[in-house]
């Protein structure tokens, strides 16, 4: 295994790459040089023969004859003389392929089977050697001899071809020289490869030693030893790697120290925080519970190990079991309260996710809100007491007016009417105080919202039902246009939205004449629910439409007082709807009626039916 790892090391890979590169390079160079050498010898022989033929009288003397066959002796004598100066075999053939003269024993024989027939064909067609040449071998004493064959056509005085001048050169010495050159080159290549192995090993070693050093130090760091430092011995990429490794070690050591400090801080916070914290996984096993949670729910570390979350929480609240946590957290964080042993606890909980983004459990934050609840109750009592104190002088006024009524004022009828107005105003001031308190809570974000998903149609039907008696007193008709069996799911505070509906329907009834008509409709429009309440009442002048949501604004103050109200209803309704991320729009024409449109967003997961 160690041997396999050694041979798979990058050091040997680098050596192998060096060898391969040098081998490929030298092979390409060798093939190129050998080809060029062969081409050089071939061109040299061809050039010498062309020069011999062009600069001597050998070919011209042959062309001076009318017939080659009639001058065989003279031609043979001339060939023998040229053979002493040229190191080539010379053949003279006539147009019938007969060898007229030759430097060897082939004189008088046919050229077929002796000479290259393709070359003779070319020469008899009038082509010179430069237009075609062939390398061939022939056998002599059972030995194959490499040759170079070149031909020249012999023409008569009329330009016709009457024979062929054929040169055949022995290429054995040249071939031996080329083969010897190949052997020399192979030896040189082997020497170069040997040198390459040594140099490649040294170069690879200079690269792999720093890398191995970094690897060893990284392995020790993985075991927790962050005191390692790599020596920087060069300014190249390896040196930069060593510098970056040292920088990484410093930063990693610092980061781990910070993480450890933050972990200790977090553990200290969780341990000493007044609120209880419980983390559970998806199977209901308690992952973590701080001391405050254990004290609130009266369980120990042993209970954490032996009991599931449901077993611990069941005696405190049935709605906080694991099944309900999954259900309630589908839409995000949720909150509930429960009472135990005279104390009030508020529980906020939500899912938490791992690094992959998948849910891995739930986290619950428990707060003992007993004191807070007491403070809220005290605040409520305070408001009630203040309201009572504000009503006290009004009650006194009522007492005096009643006394006056019993005292026999001269104009009893007038006195009674006056005192009734005072009494009505006292009631109106009472309503005013309540409305002002609600507006104050809305302004300072102190209103408590209990939003949950519900069917808007049911709430609207209930609101219409409550206003029926008021409408009947004026013989008005409340006309329901929506389908009472449909569902429009909205996340809402039921009481506050009902307050809006009651206020708008009440306004429609108040400002519509007797026997008038009030239409109430609801439908889904895209991702919103729309509720429309329209009447054929007195309407609002166009120049006053922009002020209808102002506090205490009244279109006709005298008329408004006669029908009651504080002038705060629309302002309160608008703020309630906006707290639900909705809108309120009002359209009206004087003496034609008013149309109020309330828009509320649908619940994220909707199963509503559209209402046309």
Q: How far apart are CA 612 and CA 609, in angstroms?
A: 10
CA dihedral of 134, 139, 140, 146, whole degrees rounded to 10: 40
Q: Where are the domains of the chain?
A: 56-170, 237-272, 275-368, 373-442, 449-601
Helix (H, G, I), strand (E, B) or coil at 24: helix
Which band of pLDDT confidence, cut at 50, 70 and 90, is reported for residue 465?
A: very high
Radius of gyration of the CA atoms of the chain, in A: 58
Which band of pLDDT confidence, cut at 50, 70 and 90, is reported for residue 348?
A: confident
Q: How far apart are CA 555 and CA 565, in angstroms?
A: 13
Residues 572, 550 contacting (CB under 8 angstroms): no
DSSP state of 110: B
Q: How far apart are CA 453 and CA 336, in angstroms?
A: 15
Average pLDDT, the chain: 77
Q: Measuring CA to CA, how many Å separate 139 from each of 89, 113, 133, 136, 144?
A: 14, 12, 20, 10, 4
Closest CA to 612 of 519, 480, 523, 481: 523
Q: How far apart are CA 511 and CA 562, in angstroms?
A: 11
pLDDT tens digits along 192-238: 888 888 887 777 777 777 777 777 777 777 766 766 676 666 666 66
Q: What is the mean pLDDT of residues 133-152?
A: 64
- What's the distance, Cα to Cα, between the start and end of the chain in Å? 79
pLDDT tens digits along 401-445: 666 666 546 656 756 666 666 666 676 666 667 766 776 777 777
Q: Which CATH architecture has domain 275-368?
A: 2-Layer Sandwich (3.30)
User: What topology is assigned to 56-170 in CATH?
Assistant: Beta-Lactamase (3.30.450)
**pLDDT value at 296 more than 80:** no
User: In the structure encoding, which two tokens stand for residue 593, read together?
Assistant: 């009626």
Q: What is the pLDDT of residue 331?
A: 75
Q: What is the pLDDT of residue 376?
A: 72
Q: What is the pLDDT of residue 524?
A: 94
pLDDT tens digits along 350-375: 887 777 778 788 877 887 777 777 76
- The H or E element containing residue 153 is strand 143-155
Q: What is the mean pLDDT of residues 92-117?
A: 84
User: What topology is assigned to 449-601 in CATH?
Assistant: Heat Shock Protein 90 (3.30.565)
Which band of pLDDT confidence, cut at 50, 70 and 90, is reported for residue 279?
A: confident
Question: Which of 190-199, 272-281, 482-491 is most confident?
Answer: 482-491
Helix (H, G, I), strand (E, B) or coil at 360: strand
Closest CA to 512 of 475, 469, 461: 475
**pLDDT value at 4 more than 50:** no
**pLDDT value at 129 more than 70:** no
User: Which residue carries 């009038």 as its tokens?
Assistant: 126
Residues 584, 597 contacting (CB under 8 angstroms): yes
**pLDDT value at 306 more than 50:** yes
Our CA angle for 294, 295, 296, nearest 5°, is 95
Q: Which of 5-19, 122-136, 270-284, 529-543 has the lowest mean pLDDT?
A: 122-136
Beta bridge mates, 110: 98
Q: What is the pLDDT of residue 432?
A: 66
Q: What is the pLDDT of residue 569?
A: 80
Which band of pLDDT confidence, cut at 50, 70 and 90, is reported for residue 254?
A: confident
Q: What is the mean pLDDT of residues 443-467?
A: 88
CATH code for the part of the protein at 373-442: 1.10.287
DSSP state of 552: T
Q: What is the pLDDT of residue 517?
A: 93
Identify the residue with better confidence: 361 or 262: 361
Q: What is the pLDDT of residue 97?
A: 86
Total residues found in the chain within this entry: 612
**pLDDT value at 566 more than 70:** no
Helix (H, G, I), strand (E, B) or coil at 121: helix
Identify the residue with better confidence: 137 or 26: 26
Q: What is the pLDDT of residue 359?
A: 78
Q: How far apart are CA 28 and CA 229, in angstroms?
A: 46
Q: What is the pLDDT of residue 390?
A: 54
DSSP state of 605: S
Our CA angle for 361, 363, 368, nearest 5°, is 155
Q: What is the pLDDT of residue 377?
A: 64
Which band of pLDDT confidence, cut at 50, 70 and 90, is reported for residue 528?
A: very high
Which band of pLDDT confidence, cut at 50, 70 and 90, is reported for residue 386?
A: very low
**pLDDT value at 562 more than 60:** no
Closest CA to 533 of 513, 568, 503, 569: 503
Closest CA to 102 of 86, 128, 134, 80: 80
Residues 434, 571 contacting (CB under 8 angstroms): no
Q: What is the pLDDT of residue 602?
A: 93
Q: 61 — phi, psi (to 5°)?
A: -65, -35
The fraction of the chain above a pLDDT of 90, given in percent, is 14
Closest CA to 577 of 596, 559, 599: 599
The fraction of the chain above a pLDDT of 70, given in percent, is 76
CA dihedral of 155, 156, 158, 161, whole degrees rounded to 10: -40
Beta bridge mates, 136: 147
Whole-model pTM?
0.37
CA dihedral of 151, 154, 158, 159, whole degrees rounded to 10: 10
Helix (H, G, I), strand (E, B) or coil at 409: coil
Q: What is the pLDDT of residue 277?
A: 77
Beta-carbon contacts of residue 352 (< 8 Å; ≥ 6 apart): 279, 359, 360, 361, 362, 363
Domains 373-442 and 449-601 share a fold: no
Ramachandran bin of 46, using left for φ above 0, alpha for ψ from -120 to 50, beta for the remaining angles: alpha
Closest CA to 390 of 424, 432, 337, 418: 432
Which band of pLDDT confidence, cut at 50, 70 and 90, is reported for residue 584?
A: very high
């Amino acid at each position: 295994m160690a041997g396999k790892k050694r041979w798979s090391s990058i050091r040997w890979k680098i050596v192998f790459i060096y060898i391969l590169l040098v081998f490929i390079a030298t092979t390409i160079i060798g093939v190129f040089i050998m080809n060029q050498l062969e081409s050089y010898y071939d061109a040299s022989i061809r050039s010498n023969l062309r020069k011999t033929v062009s600069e001597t009288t050998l070919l011209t003397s042959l062309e001076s004859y009318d017939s080659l066959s009639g001058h065989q002796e003279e031609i043979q004598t001339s060939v023998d003389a040229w053979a002493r100066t040229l190191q080539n075999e010379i053949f003279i053939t006539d147009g019938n392929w007969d060898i007229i003269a030759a430097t060897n024993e082939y004189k008088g024989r046919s050229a077929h089977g002796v000479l290259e027939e393709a070359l003779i064909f070319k020469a008899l067609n009038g082509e010179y050697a430069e237009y075609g040449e062939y390398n061939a071998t022939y056998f002599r004493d059972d030995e194959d001899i490499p040759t170079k064959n070149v031909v020249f056509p012999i023409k008569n005085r009329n330009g016709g071809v009457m024979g062929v001048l054929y040169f055949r050169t022995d290429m054995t010495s040249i071939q031996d020289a080329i083969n010897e050159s190949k052997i020399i080159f192979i030896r040189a290549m082997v020497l170069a490869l040997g040198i390459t192995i040594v140099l490649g090993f040294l170069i690879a070693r200079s690269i792999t030693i720093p890398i191995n050093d970094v690897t060893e130090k990284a392995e020790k760091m993985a075991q927790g030893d962050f005191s390692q430092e790599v020596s920087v011995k060069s300014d190249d990429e390896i040196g930069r790697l060593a510098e970056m490794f040292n920088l990484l070690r410093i930063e990693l050591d610092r980061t781990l120290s910070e993480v450890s400090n933050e972990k200790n801080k977090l553990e200290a916070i969780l341990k000493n925080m007044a609120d209880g914290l419980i983390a559970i996984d998806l199977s209901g096993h308690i992952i973590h519970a701080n001391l405050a949670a254990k004290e609130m729910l009266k369980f120990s570390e042993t209970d954490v190990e032996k009991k599931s979350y449901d077993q611990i929480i069941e005696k405190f609240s049935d709605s906080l079991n694991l099944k309900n946590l999954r259900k309630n957290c589908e839409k995000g964080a949720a909150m509930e309260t429960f009472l135990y042993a005279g104390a009030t606890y508020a529980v906020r909980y939500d899912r938490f996710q791992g690094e992959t983004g998948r849910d891995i459990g739930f986290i619950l934050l428990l707060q003992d809100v007993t004191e807070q609840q007491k403070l809220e109750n005290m605040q409520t009592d305070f408001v009630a007491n203040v309201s009572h104190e504000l009503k006290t002088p009004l009650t006194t006024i009522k007492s005096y007016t009643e006394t006056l009524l019993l005292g026999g004022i001269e104009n009893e009828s007038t006195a009674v009417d006056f005192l009734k107005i005072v009494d009505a105003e006292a009631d109106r001031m009472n309503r005013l105080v309540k409305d002002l308190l609600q507006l104050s809570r809305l302004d300072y974000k102190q209103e408590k919202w209990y939003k949950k998903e519900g069917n808007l149609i049911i709430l609207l039907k209930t609101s219409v039902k409550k206003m029926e008696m008021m409408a009947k007193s004026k013989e008005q008709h409340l006309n329901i246009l929506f389908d009472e069996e449909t569902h429009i799911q909205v996340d809402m505070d039921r009481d506050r939205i009902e307050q809006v509906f009651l206020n708008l329907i009440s306004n429609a009834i108040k400002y519509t004449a007797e026997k008038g008509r009030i239409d109430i409709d609801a439908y889904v429009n895209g991702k919103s629910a729309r509720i429309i309440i329209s009447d054929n009442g007195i309407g609002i002048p166009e120049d006053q439409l922009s002020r209808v949501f102002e506090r205490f604004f009244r279109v006709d103050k005298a008329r408004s007082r006669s029908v009651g109200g504080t002038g705060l209803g629309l302002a309160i309704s608008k703020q309630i709807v906006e707290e639900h991320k909705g809108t309120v729009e009002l359209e009206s024409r004087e003496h034609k009626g008013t149309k109020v449109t309330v828009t509320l967003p649908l619940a994220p997961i909707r199963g509503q039916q559209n209402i046309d």
